[in-house]
Structure 1
Amino acid sequence: MPYLSEEDRLDMASPDLVSKNLEALAALFPNCITETENGKAVDFDLLKQELSHQVIEGNKERYRLEWPGKREAIVTANLPTTKTLRPSREHSVNFDETENLFIEGDNLDVLKLLQESYFGKIKMIYIDPPYNTGKDFVYKDNFSRDTQAELFEGGQKDEYNHRLIVNPETSGRYHSDWLSMMYPRLKLARNLLGDNGVIFISIDENEVKNLLSLCDEIFGEQNALGNFIWKKKAGGGDDSSQIALEHEYVAFYAKAKESVQLGQIEHESPSMTAKYNKVENGRRYYLERLDKTSLTYSKSMDFPIVAPDGTEIYPPQPDLRNRTTIWRWSKDKIETEKSEIEFHRDKKTGEWRVYTRTWESLDGVTPRSLLVENIHGRNRDGGQELAKLIGPKIFSNPKPLRLLKHLIRVANLGPDDIVLDFFAGSASMAHAILDSNSSENSHRKFIMVQLPEPTPNESGAYINGYTDICQIGRERIRQVGKALGEQYDQKRTAELDFRDRSEKRPDIGFRAFRLDSSNMQDVYYRPQDYQQDQMDIFTDNIKPDRTADDLLAQVMLDWGLPLSYKIEQLFVLDKKVFRVAQDSLLACFDKGIDEAFAKEIASYKPLRIVFRDQSFKDDTAKENVRQLLKQLSPDTEMRVI
């Protein structure tokens, strides 16, 4: 039987007159059509006002962004999560030493899990979220439904039971669903920024105005730093029936504007950089003629300036009968800015010319809002960069490195700052961080978060063995790290007299984590769901498939320790001990913990130490260990899971 498209099918129903009436009203009064929980509807109060010459009393007007589902989005941001992050050594590179993170999972849960460990510690956030074009996916967060209920709900789900849905332009909640998805994520992201932190958000025309209103509410209108307009392509086919769109936007906000010091950038044109060809006292400058031609000649700006030899110099006039040339500076300014004026004789005529110095920092100039030059990259550049690493047509329109490196410079990152991208895609930002670290001898860290969205079966990614987006991102980082590591080794080999021993080997690895349910048995969180006679099956409160690495990660998150801390493995009396950031935390999950072990471990004087509840023979042994630690290492805080 041949397939019939939706256009070919008879709907076998009478006309929907309400929908037709809505369309007619929308044509006459588009501002009176709004979105509600049930889709598009008429704002009758506003419609009444449109049909009246008098002010109609209605709901009290307020200036704020509203949409159906906003309250639920606020609740969603504030709800706790019982999930955890499980390390994946097999997907990592240099797991124990690296400080970079790649986290696979729903970014909403991940942002919640990072709240304590990274609160106020992120210098820069960059995200490239779904643009809501009507074809891409948005997250539909629903924490009010249990797992079984969600199983029967239609639509596509990820493996964590969070739904990804296509949001067509015809949807009655087209903008509302997108706003409800973005709000809790941005709200949680703000908490992670330091006071001097900034966030960049790529977006196109579909949601730019809503995004700016959303950011004004979350970050504060006073913390808006501006919006960049990025030229994503140049030339190409005339594929639009209206305006051919060649640009996107990058919204730019601060956590606390007064604490931010932006970086300086190079001139977009190399000729401008060359123009600043004089250097003095750590700054550079160029000379600019003081005289200028003006259509509005002013006699007050046409006066003599005394040259070094006493000659009076006037603005040169091509036609003395029709004077058009004046000085750019007034008499008063020339008097107060004498040190910024230089006199030089014209090489041909020998006449005096007056110049002013135009200064800038050796580091560059103030960032510009228009990112339209080649130095900012194009969409095709991002695709080519990825293709060189892992093959062509693997990922659509990754952002180019030149754009991301420009944003890194604007953010004025220090050598050890942390950058977060929780819509990581193909991990372009991780690539940019590693590249900039290599060229600047810096040690900035990245945290990449990406949902393992499946790649389409017919796509180039799937054909090349990448079944989800996370696999693409991890492989990209591996290949970048491999290339940079080889470059570093070649440099050290070639420079036999290399004397800068302070230069550390670049961190080209990453720790891979995967979002999963808690390591604790469900009864640990929901004991009311189980009968007393079922409790015997939970003699161990930890799920049987969880490893010591899993437990350590959850302990670090619960204790608010960054997941990037260095981890060492020791053996104390034949028991494996994890040593995190020297003596910040010691953890041992082996059985047989006794007084002898406590005496030995106390010699390390750790700030914190944690054991499994099942590690002790009984409660007496647990209490004895606790008391011994208090005696031998009184500053150590002991916990049991």
Structure 2
Amino acid sequence: MDKLKMHSPDLSQDNIAKIRALFPDCVTEAADDQGIVRLAVDFDQLRQTLSDHIVEGPQERYRLDWPGKREALLTANAPIAKTLRPCRDESVNFDTTQNLFIEGDNLDALKLLQESYLGKVKLIYIDPPYNTGKDFIYEDDFAETSSEYLARSNQSSVEGSRLVANTDVNGRFHSDWLTMIYSRLRFARNMLSEDGVIFCSINHKEISQLKIVMDEIFGGNNLLCIFAWRTDGNFDNQAKFKFCHEYILAYAKNEGEFPHPKVIDPNVPEGSKIFKPEIRNTIVKNGPKNPASKVILPSGFPAAFDEGKIEARNNSWPHYDASAIVHDGKLSETVGVFSGWSSRELLEEFIANKFAPIVDAKGQETTFEISRSGAIEAVKVRGEPSHVISWLTGFGGSQKATVELAEMDVIFDDYPKPTKLIKYFVQMSAEQSGIFMDFFSGSATTAHAVLTQNSIDGQNRKYIMVQLPEKVDPSSSAYKAGFKNISEISKERLRRAGEKVLEGDCHEDWNRDVGFRVLKVDSSNMTDVFYRPDEVKQDELFGQVDSVKPDRTGEDLLFQVLIDWGVELTLPINRETMHGKTVFSIDGNALIACFEPGVTDALVKDIAARAPLRAVFRDTSFARDADRINAEQLFRQLSPGTELKAI
């Protein structure tokens, strides 16, 4: 039985546990005055996490450091003046789809998505650029203050200019790559739900560093598995060392909340005991970690046979201090059994429960029986099977994935992942109808995997893909096929994958959503005067009445409002004309917006009469300040619960 602590609670460790739950990267291992290593708060890191500027003060501690780590944290925390602009022409089923494809730098995209999708994503899979000395990495502008970063990010950037080559002769070869991935993984953790999981592909060159970074961000206790994926290919050619596998790191947001995946490794043979409804294993286990102890089996304890006798013995395990008589499948008299045990606590719980079934840590109904040999066996009723092994084989490799794309007339030259592999991860998610994300979308394998699995099991998973419009090599087959950048390849793959999935057999419960809403990262809809009015000179005030850029549409403004308000970006949009003005309503009455000039009291009354949760107008919608005041009064009278704003 458990012993009493006999002391008051260690409040400092309790507080550290609370900080660790919020900021796992700010808790580390440190030696106290007596040299005992305990969990401790890394106050320098905590100050940096809560600060908008670089904080000095390094100390000796267990962690991974590199030149640029503090700047990476600053970059992650710095605000940006950007928005997501809708692109209907490149979308499929724009008004009804629940899927998103975002084109642009993924760090910008993650910052823009954080309010709308904080804690809502069930699964993230990413295949970031590998640090090979030839690939590209994302270049982040981190050597500046947050105000400078805000000012700079208000400007448009040239397509694809966020990429730089990271050659292996670069003195910051590892540091640049770690700086790139660090800030993005911090956002990934924030996006995950409490039962969410992230899978990150990597090769041998950066796995050691990546694991330490992910341990810091997600907490080492949340590491679920380091998968070794056997890639297909030509392995019989001569090489000093031929690499035939890559790695995939899997971390939970909260390991305790992530249940056993309801999947079985596809290589398990059909005759495996994994498929049997009942699990029967002896709990007799002797060894240094299982010192022998005595358990009293009361009369009535179940047996696996109807009638029989087990003689008293001390020459084989378990020892019996008296003969055990079994009648009608139960012990007739109490007997003492001496052995090492693998599940003593469960066995004693079963006895205390008067032999009624109990539930183990996996949620499996459990009972115990004496076998004919005298061993004590645990008998578990297997629930939905779960059997994931760390060696991934039989899923194909880049060659198979390339052929898969070619069958849809899509060309991608950059080592795509096979759909079968990512579909296997999709099946592992704790929530089968949640949001699935990939912010290094590449050829959009993750989205294809989500659609395929939906068509099979009838679930309605949604996806968010993010891809930079990275230019493809003019000499590549993709360029010759008409694709100028990778995001074009991604979108075309999704169009054709959706058609292909619908052509096959689809589960009747699936909503058949194969569309996607394209949003593009762009500069803010607001002019410079909106962000830095103090920098505007007097002779520049003329023409600055409106703070919205002249080339922006009402739908552009609508999506920036959704981002600022933290509303999901796939909610249904209804456009209608009221009193001669275009009015947008989001998800019924979740939000109503009008951005046209000349808004009348009659229009305001009709909108307020619908009692929306939120309403927004443009400053220039009202000709006079009095008109704006009248609108506020009308909402107070007709819909006092509406949150009213203007841009």
TM over 0.5: yes
Of the three residues 436, 440, 455, the one matched with 2:453 is 436
Quote the residue 1:627 is aligned against: 633
Quote the residue 1:254 is aligned against: 252
Of the three residues 539, 546, 552, the one matched with 2:558 is 552
In the TM superposition, residue 290 of structure 1 has moved relative to its aligned partner by 12
Structure 2 counterpart of 1:285, one-letter code: E
Matches within 5 A, 1:339-354: none
SS at 2:408 equivalent: helix
Quote the residue 1:399 is aligned against: 417
Quote the residue 2:589 is aligned against: 583
Matches within 5 A, 1:117-516: 117-144=116-143, 159=158, 162-233=161-232, 236-241=235-240, 243-272=241-270, 275=273, 278=276, 284-285=277-278, 308=306, 310=308, 361=382, 363-371=384-392, 373-374=393-394, 376-391=395-410, 393-415=411-433, 417-487=434-504, 503=509, 505-516=511-522
In the TM superposition, residue 370 of structure 1 has moved relative to its aligned partner by 1.6
Aligned 8 A contact 1:87 1:511 in 2: yes
Structure 2 counterpart of 1:245, one-letter code: F
Aligned 8 A contact 1:425 1:450 in 2: yes
Deviations 1:361-418 (A, max 9, x none): 35322422221x31x3333222222222234x42322111221122122232332x11
In the TM superposition, residue 310 of structure 1 has moved relative to its aligned partner by 4.1
Aligned-residue CA RMSD in angstroms? 3.4
Q: Cα–Cα, structure 1 residues 414 and 332, in superposed 2: closer, same or farther, change >3 Å?
A: farther
In the TM superposition, residue 274 of structure 1 has moved relative to its aligned partner by 5.3
Of the three residues 531, 534, 540, the one matched with 2:537 is 531
Aligned 8 A contact 1:398 1:426 in 2: yes
Distance 2:562 2:246 in 1: 39
Aligned 8 A contact 2:575 2:582 in 1: yes
Distance 1:385 1:114 in 2: 31
Q: Cα–Cα, structure 1 residues 342 and 211, in superposed 2: closer, same or farther, change >3 Å?
A: same
Structure 2 counterpart of 1:173, one-letter code: R
Structure 2 counterpart of 1:364, one-letter code: P
SS at 2:635 equivalent: helix
In the TM superposition, residue 273 of structure 1 has moved relative to its aligned partner by 5.0
Aligned pairs, number: 527
Matches within 5 A, 1:49-88: 61-88=60-87
In the TM superposition, residue 145 of structure 1 has moved relative to its aligned partner by 6.8
Q: Cα–Cα, structure 1 residues 307 and 482, in superposed 2: closer, same or farther, change >3 Å?
A: closer
SS at 1:257 equivalent: coil
Give the TM-score, by structure 2 length. 0.74
SS at 1:202 equivalent: strand
117-126 vs 406-415, which moves further:
406-415
Aligned 8 A contact 1:377 1:403 in 2: yes
SS at 2:116 equivalent: coil
SS at 1:465 equivalent: coil
Distance 1:329 1:538 in 2: 92
Distance 2:381 2:62 in 1: 41
Percent of pairs identical after alignment?
Answer: 42
In the TM superposition, residue 539 of structure 1 has moved relative to its aligned partner by 2.0
Distance 1:269 1:161 in 2: 41
Unaligned runs of 5+ in 2: 1-57, 150-155, 285-302, 321-336, 356-366
Distance 1:273 1:632 in 2: 68
Deviations 1:37-73 (A, max 9, x none): xxxxxxxxxxxxxxxxxxxxxx963211111111111
Aligned 8 A contact 1:203 1:250 in 2: yes
Structure 1 counterpart of 2:119, one-letter code: G
Give the TM-score, by structure 1 length. 0.75
Unaligned runs of 5+ in 1: 1-58, 151-156, 279-283, 292-304, 315-324, 345-351, 493-499
Q: Cα–Cα, structure 1 residues 181 and 487, in superposed 2: closer, same or farther, change >3 Å?
A: same
In the TM superposition, residue 164 of structure 1 has moved relative to its aligned partner by 1.2
Aligned 8 A contact 2:159 2:469 in 1: no
In the TM superposition, residue 253 of structure 1 has moved relative to its aligned partner by 1.3
Deviations 1:499-518 (A, max 9, x none): x7xx3532110100111000
SS at 1:191 equivalent: helix
Structure 2 counterpart of 1:258, one-letter code: G
Quote the residue 2:609 is aligned against: 603
Distance 1:191 1:212 in 2: 18
Deviations 1:81-133 (A, max 9, x none): 00100000001011111110000000111111111111111111111001101
In the TM superposition, residue 162 of structure 1 has moved relative to its aligned partner by 4.6
Distance 1:74 1:84 in 2: 22
220-229 vs 417-426, which moves further:
220-229
